Amino acid sequence: GENVEQHPSTLSVQEGDSAVIKCTYSDSASNYFPWYKQELGKRPQLIIDIRSNVGEKKDQRIAVTLNKTAKHFSLHITETQPEDSAVYFCAASRSAGNKLTFGGGTRVLVKP
Amino acid sequence: DGGITQSPKYLFRKEGQNVTLSCEQNLNHDAMYWYRQDPGQGLRLIYYSQIVNDFQKGDIAEGYSVSREKKESFPLTVTSAQKNPTAFYLCASSLRDIQETQYFGPGTRLLVL
């Protein structure tokens, strides 16, 4: 089955700096890669996703890149703000009707 | 936060006891999911259902059971066969399938007495 590895497990950045989280996946047939953000004490929420027919996607300060050959994808947060402090999860699935496999999560702390 | 609710917020289980976690959604979503969240292990899929009266095992289904008698409801039973049930349980739903936005409930924390 699919295996998703996520690094780093914790990330501390200064406010205004950039943060990068990387994930690798094992199933070359995976074609959908969402990112979820879970603030302390709250439920996870989708922040961005990318499909395998696209190499990069941006939404304001957030971007995701996908390298299908290397089987890895990354989340980039620019101009970090204190409200970006949360746990971020990457995930992968191979097709509709199949399951979504999550990475272990990255705890991001933005220091003011 | 969407129209997906879970109850109770905290649940205590005694040895040998089965307990049931409730999950209800009013989003008219076809697909529903149960995840277990342990520290440092992300979200692991227990069961999922894409349509009423049908469900599939996820990665860690042993010791759990589900039912999907109504579109709105997807209860999870933690049986006595689950030897390490202490965790945070999250229910989610999506419109049709796994490759769409999943909306999560607030979660239930299960503790063993």
C-alpha to C-alpha distance for A57 and A21, rounded to whole angstroms: 15
Contact assessment for residue A112 and residue A16, using Cβ atoms and an 8 Å cutoff: no
pLDDT at B2: 53
pLDDT by residue (tens digit) across B59-68? 999 999 999 9
Q: How far is B88 from chain A (nearest CA, A)?
A: 11
A110, pLDDT greater than 90: yes
Judged by a CB distance cut-off of 8 A, whether residue B43 touches chain A is yes
B38, pLDDT greater than 60: yes
C-alpha to C-alpha distance for A24 and B92, rounded to whole angstroms: 24
C-alpha to C-alpha distance for B65 and B63, rounded to whole angstroms: 7
CB contact (8 A) between residue B99 and residue A93 = yes
Judged by a CB distance cut-off of 8 A, whether residue B84 touches chain A is no
List the single best residue of B45, B99, B100 to mutate versus A (max A Cβ within 10 A): B99
Backbone φ, ψ for residue A84 (5° rounding): -80, -10
pLDDT at A96: 67
SS3 B90: strand
Here the tokens at position B44 are 């692991």
What are the residues of chain A with a beta carbon less than 8 Å away from any beta carbon of chain B? 1, 4, 6, 9, 32, 34, 36, 43-46, 49, 51, 89, 91, 93, 95-105
pLDDT by residue (tens digit) across B50-98? 999 999 999 999 999 999 999 999 999 999 999 899 999 999 999 998 8
pLDDT at B15: 85
A98, pLDDT greater than 90: no
pLDDT by residue (tens digit) across A33-58? 999 999 998 999 999 999 998 899 99
